[in-house]
Amino acid sequence: MALALKKVDYQRVLIDTANKPDWYMRDVNPHGTVPTLQVRAGPGRGDGVIITDSEQACAFIDDKAHSVQLGFAEEIVPELAPKNLDEHQKQRLNDVIGGVFPAFAACVKNTEEAKVDELAVVLESKLTALNDYLVENKPSMFLCGDTPTTHDCNLAPKLYHLRVVGSHLPAKKIRIPEKCAALSQYIRDIEAHPAFQETCYPEAVVMAGWSKFL
């Protein structure tokens, strides 16, 4: 999504995480995690760059977007780092975003019927915290204003996974609570954004990625 927002020319390669290709493990990311940003070596690019953390990759893309040598667009592109956030706001934002994915993943990976409700309650509390943040932030459409920032690039794919897995596996009780209207609206808005639409992968890919835990 950050690449699309910055109008970078990129090639997307989907990795089957249930059956990771040898070339990916050997030459790209020995940890085997996704996503990985790879800037290939070439004239003006030195030895190239590999970044295996999505937040660091977003920051790199934002930072380097004016570097034509790296293959980035020459035209004016938006700044993705949020402006005017003080340390307290940054911490709060990181906390509310950071809470969602581990709680969601715990629900998906859980195989004990007896724990479903307990884990669903934890997830609900994280989603409610995110919803409260969005309510306080109104009338901003996105997390830090009316244009997406690196924080939205970080959060949007996670909420997409949550929405898709929740709709395919109702028994896991993964859902956006009805009372979280601001969060539901946020998901609609971010998923409708052209940069999300351009870089979003199909629901079947999301489900295939989680299949080994099911």
Ligand X SMILES: N[C@@H](CCC(=O)N[C@@H](CS)C(=O)NCC(=O)O)C(=O)O
Chain centroid to CA 212: how far? 20
Residues facing residue 37 across a β-bridge: 51
Distance between CA atoms of residues 191 and 209, nearest Å: 20
The residue among 17 and 89 lying less far from ligand X, judged by its C-beta, is 17
Query: Which ranges of the chain does DSSP label H, i.e. alpha helix?
Result: 2-5, 22-23, 54-64, 87-109, 116-136, 150-168, 181-192, 194-199, 203-210
- What tokens appear for 190 in the block? 């971010």
207 scored as a contact of ligand X (CB under 6 A) = no
Among 8, 49, 53, 108, binds ligand X (CB under 6 A): 53
Indicate the residue among 56 and 69 with the shorter CB distance to ligand X: 56
Tell me if 189 contacts ligand X by CB under 6 A. Answer: no
What is the C-alpha to C-alpha distance for residues 196 and 65, in angstroms, rounded to an integer?
Answer: 18
Kindly state the helix (H) or strand (E) to which residue 163 belongs, with its residue range: helix 150-168
Q: Does 29 bind ligand X (CB under 6 A)?
A: no
C-beta of 209: minimal distance to ligand X in Å?
6
Total length of the chain: 214
Closer residue to ligand X (CB): 35 or 177: 35
Member of 7, 8, 10, 32 binding ligand X (CB under 6 A): 32
Site membership for ligand X, residue 17 (CB under 6 A): yes
| Binding segment toward ligand X, per CB under 6 A, in 33-41, 80-88, 136-144, 188-196 | 33-41
Q: How far apart are CA 177 and CA 109, in angstroms?
A: 20
The nearer residue to ligand X, 26 or 83, going by C-beta atoms, is: 26
Residue 142: strand, helix, or coil? strand
SS3 content of the chain, % helix, strand, coil (to 5): 55, 5, 40
- Nearest distance in Å: CB 33, ligand X: 3
The site that binds ligand X (CB under 6 A) totals a number of residues, namely: 7
**Of 30-38, 79-87, 163-171, 185-193: span binding ligand X (CB under 6 A):** 30-38
Does residue 54 interact with ligand X by CB under 6 A? yes
Tokens at 84, concatenated: 């005017």
Contact set with ligand X (CB under 6 A): 17, 32-35, 53-54
